[in-house]
Structure 1
């Protein structure tokens, strides 16, 4: 009886101590007098996430509620006190001026037990810096020009796929899915040197895996909340977030690709060849180089993130652009006219330089990314305590997560009047010069901006040029007006984007 009493007392003391720690943690901002919304004890300020609200909706609500109260407000990333930045000057400091203190993202990664998380987007510190410097040449202008004909080849396949569907009088279909097939085939060719054939077969292996990456989760909401709240502890517990079948698929594809290229002495100017050079240590400058030769698992992680970031974000952005063009025929006609006139000026040849000369195309895509930021926020982690200049009360403590609400900035009426309106004239060169670079953040800003920006923009522009030269897009009965969004982290449309298409 005595032993049982002692055990119960010990358990009660432990639970009480744990409750005290959580109580202190969940009152962090109240004790410091920083504006914040009252948190849920377990979900923090993310109550309803993935069920009734998307992360974008939550961030926009917090931003709009606290905008103007100070340089940042507090919020709770589940049980993790975090900063949500409200002031554009502070955003510029974090991303550019004081980048050295905010270089890390602080996201979960576990290269040993979850190899696909060991990629450029999630890595921090010297691993990120070394890898970034080695991969940057992959996305130079010269490499883009080399990949341009490959993208055009896939764009021709896109035209064939559209014609086949029109031949059976199927003039209305989901253009988000069609664009995902296009970008999957582009990435398969440019990153892996593999013909994915998604446009011919929507159930091709790469396309099926792409759907799984977006829709599958290894754990339920509670375990995911724990991993995101305590990433270092989760790593020590050897936890993983990537479903095993996805990991196995990409490890197999990369291994087979490497074996084939080595056996047949294949070397191409693509992403896989650069990874193979890194695997052999060709880019190491000395024995003390921060980046040792990459293992096959590390190569796979980089190929994986190139695939994920390259196919889904670009596909969804293109679908959103077609949606807005279908709603506003005058914008669609103006863009089509620019396409034809620019190609005519280049001797009826659609070249890389011709694509670069299409200014209104750039504006349409920039406004699409402004109104529909697929990634609604940027994440950073403070390396050391940081006192906000001019605001001694506002200190970002070492190790604290910092959220920059891209969607809040993009929908701020002081920056973009009538933010719900789709207006490409917001991005004429003269207007852009009058704004700060941090007022438009689909690719981030500063030294840790998206490394694949050029590639993403190139494949989107090529796809739209080919489509708009041949087809007119209009809304139909199945078109959702307004768009309804999935309750996910990325800003994805619920149920796809259905549009009517007919030949010009």
Structure 2
């Protein structure tokens, strides 16, 4: 009986201590008179995430609620406290001016146990700097020209498949078909493999690409634990990537590398550029005291990033663009006329230079990404205590996560008049010059902006140019207006497909 009493006393004591700790932990911002929505003990400020609210809705509502209350508001990512930036000058400091104190994104990465988390997007500190130095030269304009014919070849097959589908039905679900187009582009440029997604909607690459965005080794609970307690997760050797996805990509890249090296094959694609770094071009190590090549695991991780990031972001952007152009047929006709006029100047050949000359098409893409920001929030982590200039009471503590609500900024009427209206003229050269660079963050800003921006823009322009040259799009009874966003994805995505009526021009 005495033992039972001691056990009960111990449990009550532990619960009391835990209660006091939680109260102190979740009153961090309140005690400093910094605005913060009252957090949920389990979800922090992510209440309803993936069930009743999309990530887009969470970021947008938080921005609207605390805008103009100060340079930042408190925000709890599950149990982990962070700051939600609201002031443009502070955002500029974090991304550009004081970047050295915010170089990391703060996501969980464990490249030792989980090699596919060694992607550039997740890497930190010297590892990030090392890999960024290697990867950046592979995305120059010159390198894009080498890969341009491959994208065009896939694009022509895309138009052929689209036309065949149109013979069977007048209404096309474009979201899925665009994903199959970008999978085949990335498969060809990244792996040198024809994924056959356009012809086969059950192609393995397509299935693996989709699953890699939504499936995690330990499910949602494990993912939340990795995010909230990254150092502890690393000590437990926890992985993010499901075993079958890791095995598929490691095996596929290994077979591709072995075949190319054995037969001395070069295709001037992304794989070739990384193989040069693996075999020929010595580069400084993380400690800057010796030269070394890229390792095989590092090569696989960057191919994985190129594949996953490249197909989803571009296909989603094209889907939203076609949706808006179908609703605004006068803008669609304006784009089509530009495409026709430019092609006349290039004797009907879609060249790299012709694509660059389609300036209004580019404005349509930029406006689409403003209205539908695929990555709606940018993440950073503070390396050392940071006092916000001009606000001595606002301190971003060491290791705190920093959230920059790019999608919400893009819909702020302070920076974009009538922000919910699709208007490509928001991106005329004159309008762009009037705005600060941090007012448009579809590709990030500063030293850690999107390294694959040029490639993403290239394949998006090619895909849209070929479609709009050959087909006219309009809304129909099956078109969902307004679109509903998926509650499951961190990236912006529609809840269901995008159905549009199409006809040959």
TM-score bin, normalised by smaller chain: over 0.9
Look up the SS of the partner of 1:494 in the other structure. Answer: coil
Match of 2:237 in 1: 238
Shift of 1:289: 4.8
**Could you tell me how far apart the structure 2 residues matched to 1:152 and 1:220 are?**
38
The answer to whether the Cα contact below 8 Å between 1:278 and 1:294 also exists between their aligned partners in 2 is: yes
Shift of 1:489: 1.1
Post-superposition CA distance 1:228-286 (Å, at most 9, x none): 11112111111122211111110111111111111111233222123223333633257
Shift of 1:134: 0.5
Post-superposition CA distance 1:23-60 (Å, at most 9, x none): 22211111111011111111111011011111111011
Q: Does 1:229 align with 2:243?
A: no
The 5-angstrom pairing of residues 35-54 of structure 1 reads 35-54=35-54
The answer to whether the Cα contact below 8 Å between 1:116 and 1:304 also exists between their aligned partners in 2 is: yes
Match of 1:420 in 2: 420
**Could you tell me how far apart the structure 1 residues matched to 2:46 and 2:201 are?**
35
Look up the SS of the partner of 1:48 in the other structure. Answer: coil
The answer to whether the Cα contact below 8 Å between 2:384 and 2:398 also exists between their aligned partners in 1 is: yes
Match of 2:497 in 1: 496
Q: What is the TM-score with the length of structure 1 in the denominator? A: 0.97
Shift of 1:471: 0.4
User: Please, which runs of 5 or more residues in structure 2 have no aligned partner?
Assistant: none
Match of 2:459 in 1: 459
**Could you tell me how far apart the structure 2 residues matched to 1:241 and 1:53 are?**
24
Shift of 1:296: 2.2
**Could you tell me how far apart the structure 2 residues matched to 1:381 and 1:15 are?**
31
The answer to whether the Cα contact below 8 Å between 2:385 and 2:398 also exists between their aligned partners in 1 is: yes
Look up the SS of the partner of 1:402 in the other structure. Answer: strand
The 5-angstrom pairing of residues 438-449 of structure 1 reads 438-449=438-449
Look up the SS of the partner of 1:479 in the other structure. Answer: coil
**Could you tell me how far apart the structure 2 residues matched to 1:291 and 1:489 are?**
38
Q: Does 1:394 align with 2:361?
A: no
Match of 1:411 in 2: 411
**Could you tell me how far apart the structure 2 residues matched to 1:188 and 1:314 are?**
14
Look up the SS of the partner of 1:431 in the other structure. Answer: helix
343-352 vs 183-192, greater mean Cα deviation: 343-352
Post-superposition CA distance 1:440-477 (Å, at most 9, x none): 11110000000000000000000111111110001111
**Could you tell me how far apart the structure 2 residues matched to 1:292 and 1:44 are?**
43
The answer to whether the Cα contact below 8 Å between 2:150 and 2:185 also exists between their aligned partners in 1 is: yes
Match of 1:97 in 2: 97
Look up the SS of the partner of 2:283 in the other structure. Answer: coil
Match of 1:302 in 2: 302
172-181 vs 292-301, greater mean Cα deviation: 292-301
130-139 vs 338-347, greater mean Cα deviation: 338-347
The verdict on how the C-alpha distance between 1:389 and 1:110 changes in structure 2, with shifts beyond 3 A counting, is same
The answer to whether the Cα contact below 8 Å between 2:470 and 2:504 also exists between their aligned partners in 1 is: yes
The verdict on how the C-alpha distance between 1:431 and 1:243 changes in structure 2, with shifts beyond 3 A counting, is same
**Could you tell me how far apart the structure 1 residues matched to 2:220 and 2:288 are?**
42
Look up the SS of the partner of 1:211 in the other structure. Answer: helix
The answer to whether the Cα contact below 8 Å between 1:116 and 1:247 also exists between their aligned partners in 2 is: yes
The answer to whether the Cα contact below 8 Å between 1:387 and 1:394 also exists between their aligned partners in 2 is: yes
Shift of 1:3: 4.8
**Could you tell me how far apart the structure 2 residues matched to 1:291 and 1:443 are?**
31
**Could you tell me how far apart the structure 2 residues matched to 1:290 and 1:496 are?**
51
The 5-angstrom pairing of residues 280-359 of structure 1 reads 280=279, 282-285=281-284, 288-289=288-289, 292-359=292-359
**Could you tell me how far apart the structure 2 residues matched to 1:103 and 1:211 are?**
29
Q: Does 1:278 align with 2:274?
A: no
Match of 2:136 in 1: 136
The 5-angstrom pairing of residues 206-217 of structure 1 reads 206-217=205-216
Look up the SS of the partner of 1:495 in the other structure. Answer: coil
Match of 1:179 in 2: 178
Shift of 1:7: 4.5
The verdict on how the C-alpha distance between 1:289 and 1:350 changes in structure 2, with shifts beyond 3 A counting, is farther
Shift of 1:4: 4.8
**Could you tell me how far apart the structure 2 residues matched to 1:383 and 1:463 are?**
41
Shift of 1:301: 1.2
Match of 1:28 in 2: 28
The answer to whether the Cα contact below 8 Å between 1:35 and 1:74 also exists between their aligned partners in 2 is: yes
Match of 1:259 in 2: 258
The answer to whether the Cα contact below 8 Å between 1:281 and 1:294 also exists between their aligned partners in 2 is: no
Count of residues paired in the alignment: 503
